[in-house]
Amino acid sequence: MMTDMKNSNNNHDSSTISAAETSSLEVDSCTTSTAGGRRVNTNPSRHFYLSPHTFWMQRWEALVVTTVIFTSALEVFIAVLDSRVLGLWVFVYLCDFIFIIDIVLRFFVGYMKNGILISDVRLIRKHYLRTTFIPDIVSVLPLGLIVLAKPGIQVADGFVTTLTNIVPKLAQYRCMNRLLRVYRIESYFEMKESKLGTNTVAIRTIKYTTYAGLSIHFLACFWYLLSCSGRHGDTIPTCDNGTWAAQLEPSSYISEKSTLDAYIVSLYWAVATTTSTG
């Protein structure tokens, strides 16, 4: 009788310990697990989320960064040199559509914190809203509607308000808000460099080549802006006297060249002047 009671108590204690261990394992499995060498938050209360380490998400991120690079370059080109090329506008708005899709996806893409992939959708949304949501949403605002504004107000004695000069300039640079996306370029390359097993030399080569290309492009556009006006609406390009553009030979007047030729001349003079090679 006593032996049966002891065996019963032992069995009860063993089942209690086993249940406790099982419960502990379940709690641990709900907090972190390993996936590809990374600790992942696997809270069962979370909803659907996207891991940034999957093959397709990495390809999507590369696509978004590529559109950011081209959009940044084209926006400056359109604002400074020529805003009448329809194909450039179509491409820019296509990139906007891709970026809007990315904004929606950002509410479901997990992020790393202290070496742990956060997969709780509530935390993901709070993190995105507190970090880059504002610049992202501002960068897709349709500021192009400014072009519909009527420049100037005619009043008594032929006086025209200063809006006559201000509004056309605002309309010219109405879509420069897309430049707010350039932070994605740096964050993308940082992510690629921190990933184990990647060729950091190749990644850094691509990164600095991208930065150099964008810097030279921006410099060429700025150099053109210092002297000449671009092709916008019905305006004819003109260059100010006493500037570098006015010093060219008569056969090389930049105001008489095509948009592409004017850009190439500006690119040459900007690089030659800043590097003291010209």
Model confidence pLDDT, tens digit, residues 104-147: 999 999 998 888 899 999 999 999 999 999 999 999 988 876 65
Confidence of residue 22 (pLDDT cuts 50, 70, 90): very low
User: Which residues lie closer than 8 Å to 180 by C-beta, 6 or more apart?
Assistant: 135, 136, 138, 139
The whole-angstrom separation of Cα 166 and Cα 148 is 14
What's this model's pTM, rounded to 2 decimal places?
0.73
| Token duo for residue 69 | 């690079």
| pLDDT (0 to 100) of residue 65 | 97
Confidence of residue 37 (pLDDT cuts 50, 70, 90): very low
pLDDT band, residue 163 (cuts 50/70/90): very low
How far apart are the C-alpha atoms of 143 and 226, rounded to whole Å? 25
Highest mean pLDDT among 12-26, 56-70, 195-209: 56-70
What is the token pair recorded at 245? 């553009």
Q: What is the mean pLDDT of residues 36-65?
A: 75
For residue 81, how many other CB atoms are within 10 A of its CB?
24
Residue closest to 100 by CA, chosen among 136, 124, 57, 130: 136
**Taking 70 as the threshold, does the pLDDT of residue 160 lie above it?**
no
Whether 159 shows a pLDDT value over 50: the answer reads: no
* More confident of the two residues 197 and 23: 197
**What tokens appear for 180 in the block?**
């707010």
In terms of Cβ atoms closer than 10 Å to its own Cβ (0-12, 13-18, 19+), residue 172 is: buried
83: tokens are: 């805003």
Say if strands 38-41 and 111-113 run parallel, antiparallel, or are unpaired.
Answer: unpaired
Q: Quick check: helix, strand or coil at residue 97?
A: helix
